[in-house]
Amino acid sequence: MSGAATVDSRHRQLGLTDAEYQLIVEKLGREPNEVELAVFSLMWSEHCAYKHSKKLLRTLPTEGPAVVMGPGENAGAVDVGGGLAVAFKVESHNHPSAVEPFQGAATGVGGILRDVFAVGARPIAILDSLRFGELSSQRSRYLLDRAVAGIGHYGNSIGVATVGGDIYFEAPYEHNCLVNAMCLGIAPRERLVRSAAAGVGNHLVLLGALTGRDGIGGASVLASAELGEDEDKRPSVQIGDPFEEKKLLECCLELLDRGLLESLQDLGAAGLSSSSSEMASKGEVGIDIEVDRVPLREPGMEPFEVMVSESQERMLCVVEPARLDDVLAVCARWEVRATPIGSVTDTRRLRVIADGEVLGDMPVGALVDECPLYDLRPELPRVPVYRAPKRTLSQEAPAADALLALLRSPNVASKRWAFEQYDPIVGARTVRRPESADAAVLVLDHDGGEGALAVSIDGSGRRVACEPYTGTVEVVLECAANLACVGAEPLGLTNCLNFGNPEKPRVAWQLSESVRGLGDACRALGIPVVGGNVSLYNEGTEGPIYPTPIVGMVGRLLDPARAAPIGFAAEGDAIALLGPFAPELTGSELAKLWGLDLAPLHPVDLDAQRAALDLVRRGVREGLFRSAHDVSEGGLGCALAECCIEGRIGARIEYYRGAEIGKAPEPHMGWLFGEGPGGVIVSGAPESLQRLAAEAGDVPVLSLGEVGGDALVMAAGAARLSIPVEDLKTAHSQGIPDLLT
């Protein structure tokens, strides 16, 4: 590389600004060569350096009594008793999935699995949170079909249960779909391992698949710039092999069980560049990498290509010389390729070497810790950022028609079409299958523990777009309510923040307000943030996606048999609405069907919400409820319909609210279909609910009616409806399949 013009053109093509390039020159004391510039461009990319979000993320609460590993490791981990820890994390693979949805989604699953077993935990469950454009779009139907197939292919093949998730369809995701994958795994607490490299003179060993050109710059480059319509980036998407990963998983866990590894790191975005430099930074050491020793899939790869390749199913470990032969023997037994490719040094530098020649020599601190961090310039948008949705339902439609339309709408309709492509029970830990309960429940007795885990993943782009702070608070509350409905106490939270271009003031405002809401909600509920991911630049020629913070939460319950299902269970059971539920049509699914613009949300009383969650959790744990289901998309009407559908039994409901709802366009429609946090529908023996109401204190407990019959019969203000459960089920189950045919 020679000449200022060539250098200028090269660093801009790699996503570095002129000022960033000059800073690199200052830190090196010279101009970087081709290898060094490639490594710096990825390490200083948004995806790896979080340069527009790190300052915000530092404001989140990260400490709690159960926290074993917090942010900074491959996955966070919490103590679940009995000497066990649960590791979990959520990450995005958005841009690759928009380019090649099958492999993008599949390798997103593969990557999050490696994050979990990189800390020594055996993966036991996958959840996914997906966003696409409207299903009227051929492109969105294609992306949905292939992304779901990719998730099922990888998870089913490797033998890890996919136990939950969510899927939403909105116009702003048309050109920037979101594929967020969450994994949780379990391990003896003492087996957890960190990624810091240690021990000068120790070997650096590369495990797993061959290194190829597939995936070069994939996740890191694609996730650090807006997608253009005319760019063919399909070659940048990684190719996954779940069978190779299964061998790698078992091999790594055996190596850790036998105490043969000093540290272990996943090769994800930026490949060897990020894994080696991050290990060196955490261990305050240096690393030499001999790129000519890296096993290649394709001959003739340049050294910089080897360093930045994002080929899948690879891990990097540090091994003491005396243990190298034992490590190689274990790898041979599992048929996992293992190659010593370097060593730990005391230089605090990352050196790239081939045939004894140093091709790159970079300070580890400059690569990992000294990337420039930027202050956002948030501004409240003065004009609407998003167009009003197309009206598909008249505001004059009667309540029964509105309920059936909502149940058919893709955001409310059953996602069974997708879940049936996943294996939710492999591993024999699953107590509640997808859509049978508000959270997935996984027993711990297989691993020598007691009780069970509960896990949920949630997000609501439209309501966050209405008001990023309040909408994000609601996302955390929704996830916590899902756990409460199965009797689980939250132990920790992970998140993936999916936003547009943070260099634009309106997106900077969305991101800043959302992180503020996330932090306030977590502090109010006492839930530490143990890790997460940020996916920015989800924006194209049509504008940004809805701001979409995805929250994954893990909790513990004592008795999995008492984890309440969604469905009503017995004729004559009483039905009640618990919590400070104040429904509003703003940002609701009904408002979307009516074609209404986004508008501000009502503020949330977090103290009242926490008290309600405590009451729900206590009621489940004491066995007072035969069912529990939080009110979310589609409001009370849809939540009740889902309880009837899942239980295969009807209900008779009378619901009246105070005058505070009277400002809505149609008061009774707001009561039936308005949305907001704080509402949980419970059913049980009348005496059980009476006891709960007597002990509820300041938490509202509103009697709604009783279970029975073969229809949902409702009266709410001036609204009346009576719909057979079979008709509810047909609308709910066929909503998505009918749009795909």
Q: Could you report the per-residue pLDDT of 448-485, keeping only the tens digit for each?
A: 778 999 999 999 999 999 999 999 999 999 999 999 99
Q: What is the pLDDT of residue 2?
A: 39
What's the confidence (pLDDT) of residue 285? 96
State the pLDDT at residue 269: 82
Residue whose tokens read 């999935």: 97
Contact 158, 152 (CB under 8 A): no
Whole-number pLDDT of residue 667: 46
Confidence check: pLDDT of 382 > 90? no
Query: Across residues 310-328, what is the average pLDDT?
Result: 96
3-state SS assignment for residue 272 = helix
Indicate if 93 belongs to the active site.
yes
Q: Please, which pLDDT band fits residue 8 given cuts at 50, 70 and 90?
A: low
User: pLDDT tens for residues 175-201?
Assistant: 999 999 999 999 999 999 999 999 999
Confidence of residue 215 (pLDDT cuts 50, 70, 90): low
Give the pLDDT of residue 659.
33
Enclosing H/E stretch for 67: strand 67-69
**First and final CA of the chain: distance in angstroms?**
54
CA distances from 736 to 129, 141, 336, 400, 559 (A): 17, 10, 42, 20, 35
pLDDT tens for 243-299 read 999 999 999 999 999 999 999 999 988 899 999 999 999 999 999 999 999 999 988
Q: What is the pLDDT of residues 386-395, one digit of tens each?
A: 999 999 999 9
**Could you tell me the pLDDT band of residue 217, with boundaries at 50, 70 and 90?**
low
Whether 662 shows a pLDDT value over 50: the answer reads no
Neighbouring-strand partners of residue 78: 67, 86
Structural domains of the chain in order of their starting residue, each with its CATH number:
193-371 (3.90.650.10), 382-406+564-741 (3.90.650.10)
> Considering the chain, what percentage of its residues have pLDDT values greater than 90?
84
The pLDDT value recorded for residue 661 is 31
Mean pLDDT for all residues in the chain: 92
Q: Per the structure block, which two tokens stand in for 42? A: 């990825």
pLDDT at 595: 96
- pLDDT class for 670, splitting at 50, 70, 90? confident
What is the rounded distance in angstroms from the CA atom of residue 189 to the CA atom of residue 78? Answer: 9
Strand residues in 145-285 grouped as ranges (E): 161-169, 178-188, 203-208, 263-266
Identify the CA nearest to 568 among candidates 374, 719, 723, 725.
Answer: 725
Please say if the pLDDT value at position 527 is more than 90. yes
The pLDDT tens digits for 543-598 are 899 999 999 999 999 999 999 999 999 999 999 999 999 999 999 999 999 999 99
Spatial CA neighbour of 453 closest among 185, 637, 115, 96: 185
| Tally of CB atoms within 10 A around 302 | 14
Confidence of residue 240 (pLDDT cuts 50, 70, 90): confident
- Per-residue pLDDT at 325 exceeds 70: yes
Report yes or no: 485 and 553 within 8 Å, Cβ to Cβ: no
Q: What is the rounded distance in angstroms from the CA atom of residue 623 to the CA atom of residue 519?
A: 32
Q: Catalytic one among 11, 47, 203, 732? A: 47
Q: Averaged over 13-26, what is the pLDDT?
A: 91
* Single pTM value for the model: 0.93
Whether pLDDT at 703 is above 60: yes
Torsion (CA) 585, 586, 588, 594 in degrees, nearest 10: 80
- Check 11, 52, 93, 629 and give the catalytic one: 93
The pLDDT value given to residue 450:
86
Q: What is the predicted pLDDT for the residue at 344?
A: 97
Q: Cα 566–416–569 angle (5° rounding)?
A: 20
Q: What is the C-alpha separation between 138 and 543, in angstroms, rounded?
A: 20
Q: How confident is the model at residue 197, as a pLDDT?
A: 93
What percentage of residues in the chain have a pLDDT greater than 70?
95
pLDDT of 1 higher than 50:
no
Q: What is the pLDDT of residues 149-176, one digit of tens each?
A: 999 999 999 999 999 999 999 999 999 9
